[in-house]
Amino acid sequence: MEPFSPSAIGTMMYFRLVAWQSASGPLLFFLYTNGPLDLWVGAFFILVQFFSAL
**Is-contact 37 31, C-beta < 8 A?**
yes
Does the pLDDT at position 5 exceed 80? Answer: no
Residue 37 is predicted with a pLDDT of 58
Dihedral in degrees, nearest 10, Cα atoms 33, 34, 40, 46: -10
Identify the three-state secondary structure at position 19: helix
Residue 43 is predicted with a pLDDT of 77
At 11-50, the pLDDT tens digits run: 777 777 776 666 666 666 665 665 565 667 777 877 888 8
Residue 4 is predicted with a pLDDT of 54
